């Protein structure tokens, strides 16, 4: 298996691989101050000592170490494995047959049956693939078919319309009748695991950096180092940008990871924009529809080329929250380079989504009721006990009522929340509308 150690550029911290002496310089193995440009600019990433930053990486190495280096101290952090891709084992009932009567390949397909503890006949569950294939159906991998053969290579995946099923063709000359057997496989769903570590920056003030390395028997230890990180109680002229995507891509977002950067900016300009639909007749003009959009143009201070790319990735994400306001990208980026350097300025036009966010790393802070709902409307799971606790703590009275035709009757706001907890889908907008109307 090849050596894998990858840190996505979408992460909050910017990392560079530490190159071997024989490797040539490139963007992936040099920090900003080592740039190939004639006059390299050293990047500094700014954070507050209230920030909690999670980094995600991929590797197939057995051992991983993350260290925050600050002054003379080195602090190691726990690394958590988020996937189980390597060394999976599955065992299912299946059927096999002489594919096309040629005695060249054995066809293997799955309808329904038992799942077994690997390497045993102990039933641990059932399956209903109904003509689909299990996840170990990977061309080039091997399977064992009880009573027929072991380490049989999967050479093709086909659809057999006669049996109405997807079929694995394996390298075995079978000429008998259709039969049932236990099929098992040891396999890698992906050739790496995904890991995360989280650093609470409240433990330090000043400049620091992160050293991440992986090691394994008979493999060369691989290292990565972050750019300089400057942790302070405040950074004037810096924006807080939280960003993440809805779907897994280079980052496994299903773990719940969100990224944060605090770039310096030179200016923010409001750009009025509207879209009108007008019906013109011979004598009149009638406004059919009109939409006004809030746009801001952000001019960011100069950064090196790799942080420039990080900023562009961040601002192009599905979810972009700048100083607790939601945005989406509103046009092409404008980039200018300082001659003979790795320094660039970035101008980005962003459109407000009119979604407000209260960014709280743990959701355990003492938030007001309204802020709690705003946090949850950003994607976190609704915790009704927290909602009601916040309600009791932050609202002096709950004696205002309104008529709700769906639930039928005069309900207080709190009773409404309780009713929705009984099974109805929570409508965050309705909650906020009720809150604003009565409190």
The string of DSSP letters for 270-324 reads EEEEEEEEEEE-SS-EEEEEEEEEEEEEEEEEEEEHHHHHHHHHHHTSSEEEETT
Q: How far apart are CA 197 and CA 54, in angstroms?
A: 6
* Residue 115 bridge partners (DSSP): 92, 125
pLDDT band at 356 (very low <50, low <70, confident <90, very high): low
Question: 56: domain CATH number?
Answer: 2.60.40.10
Query: Is 272 within the bounds of a domain?
Result: no
User: In terms of pLDDT, which residue wins out, 435 or 257?
Assistant: 257
Is 27 found in the same domain as 104? Answer: no
**Number of neighbouring beta carbons within 10 Å of residue 141:** 15
What integer pLDDT is reported at residue 281 of this predicted model? 67
What integer pLDDT is reported at residue 382 of this predicted model? 46
Please choose, from the candidates 108, 198, 199, the residue with its C-alpha nearest in 3D space to the C-alpha of residue 152: 108
What integer pLDDT is reported at residue 55 of this predicted model? 98
User: In terms of pLDDT, which residue wins out, 411 or 63?
Assistant: 63
Q: How far apart are CA 262 and CA 307, in angstroms?
A: 11
For helices 413-421 and 384-394, the axis angle rounded to 10 degrees is 170
384 phi, psi to nearest 5 deg: -65, -30
Is 131 found in the same domain as 70? Answer: no
Number of structural domains the chain divides into: 3
pLDDT for residue 187 is more than 60: yes
Query: Is 432 within the bounds of a domain?
Result: yes
Query: Is 269 within the bounds of a domain?
Result: no
* Residue 276 bridge partners (DSSP): 290
- Pairing mode, if any, of strands 106-109 and 165-170? antiparallel
Is 159 found in the same domain as 120? Answer: yes
What integer pLDDT is reported at residue 1 of this predicted model? 65
Give the domain range for residue 168: 88-187
Is 205 found in the same domain as 175? Answer: no
Is 103 found in the same domain as 152? Answer: yes
pLDDT for residue 437 is more than 60: no
Share of the chain above pLDDT 90, in %: 64
What integer pLDDT is reported at residue 249 of this predicted model? 87
Query: Is 424 within the bounds of a domain?
Result: yes
pLDDT for residue 405 is more than 60: no
Q: How far apart are CA 318 and CA 304, in angstroms?
A: 24
Is 215 found in the same domain as 77? Answer: yes
The arithmetic mean of pLDDT across residues 44-67, rounded, is: 97
Query: Is 319 within the bounds of a domain?
Result: no
Query: Is 94 within the bounds of a domain?
Result: yes
- What ranges make up the beta strands (E) of 134-247? 142-145, 149-160, 165-170, 179-187, 193-200, 206-216, 219-226, 228-232, 241-244
246 phi, psi to nearest 5 deg: -80, -35
pLDDT band at 286 (very low <50, low <70, confident <90, very high): low
Q: How far apart are CA 384 and CA 386, in angstroms?
A: 5
The arithmetic mean of pLDDT across residues 361-388, rounded, is: 45
Q: How far apart are CA 353 and CA 199, in angstroms?
A: 30
User: In terms of pLDDT, which residue wins out, 194 or 388?
Assistant: 194
pLDDT for residue 412 is more than 60: no
Q: How far apart are CA 158 and CA 378, in angstroms?
A: 43
Is 169 found in the same domain as 129? Answer: yes
- The secondary structure element, H or E, covering residue 326 is strand 325-329
What integer pLDDT is reported at residue 149 of this predicted model? 93
Query: Is 265 within the bounds of a domain?
Result: no
Is 102 found in the same domain as 70? Answer: no
Q: How far apart are CA 100 and CA 351, in angstroms?
A: 59
Instruction: Name the domain boundary from 187, 219, 249.
Output: 187
Residues in the chain: 439
Is 142 found in the same domain as 16? Answer: no
């Amino acid at each position: 298996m090849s050596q894998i150690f990858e840190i996505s550029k979408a992460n909050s911290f910017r990392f560079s691989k530490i190159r071997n002496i024989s490797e040539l310089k490139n963007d992936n193995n040099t920090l900003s101050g080592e740039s190939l440009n004639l006059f390299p600019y050293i990047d500094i990433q700014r954070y507050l000592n209230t920030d909690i930053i999670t980094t995600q990486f991929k590797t197939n190495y057995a051992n991983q170490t993350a260290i925050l280096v600050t002054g003379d101290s080195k602090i190691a952090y726990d690394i958590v494995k988020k996937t189980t891709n390597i060394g999976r084992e599955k065992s299912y009932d299946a059927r096999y047959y002489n594919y096309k009567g040629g005695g060249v390949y054995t066809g293997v397909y799955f309808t329904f049956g038992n799942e077994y503890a690997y390497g045993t006949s102990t039933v641990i569950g059932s399956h209903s693939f109904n003509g689909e294939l299990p996840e170990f159906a990977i061309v080039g991998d091997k399977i064992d078919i009880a009573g027929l053969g072991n380490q049989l290579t999967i050479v093709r995946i086909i659809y057999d319309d006669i049996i109405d099923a997807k079929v694995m063709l394996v390298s075995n000359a079978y000429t008998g009748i259709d039969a049932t057997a236990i099929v098992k496989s040891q396999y890698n769903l992906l050739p790496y695991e995904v890991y995360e570590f989280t650093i609470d920056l409240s433990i330090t003030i000043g400049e620091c950096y992160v050293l991440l390395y992986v090691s394994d028997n008979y493999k060369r230890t691989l290292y990565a180092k972050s750019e300089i990180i400057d942790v302070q109680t405040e950074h004037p002229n810096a924006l807080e940008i939280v960003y993440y995507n809805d779907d897994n891509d280079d980052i496994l977002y299903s773990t719940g990871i969100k990224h944060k950067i605090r770039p310096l900016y030179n200016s923010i300009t409001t750009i009025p924009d509207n879209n009108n639909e007008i019906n013109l007749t011979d004598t009149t003009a009638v406004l059919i529809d009109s939409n006004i959009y809030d746009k801001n143009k952000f001019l960011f201070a100069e950064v090196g080329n790799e942080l420039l790319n990080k900023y562009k990735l961040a601002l192009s994400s599905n979810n972009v929250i700048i100083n607790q306001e939601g945005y989406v990208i509103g046009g092409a980026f404008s980039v200018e380079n300082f001659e003979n350097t790795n320094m660039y300025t970035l101008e980005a036009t962003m459109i407000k989504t009119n979604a407000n966010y209260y960014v709280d790393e743990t959701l355990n802070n003492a938030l007001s009721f309204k802020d709690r709902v705003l946090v949850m409307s950003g994607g976190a799971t609704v915790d009704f006990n927290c909602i009601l606790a916040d309600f009791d703590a932050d609202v002096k009275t709950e004696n205002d009522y309104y008529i709700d035709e769906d639930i039928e009757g005069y309900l207080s706001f709190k009773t409404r929340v309780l009713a929705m907890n009984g099974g109805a889908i929570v409508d965050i907008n309705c909650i906020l509308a009720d809150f604003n109307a009565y409190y």
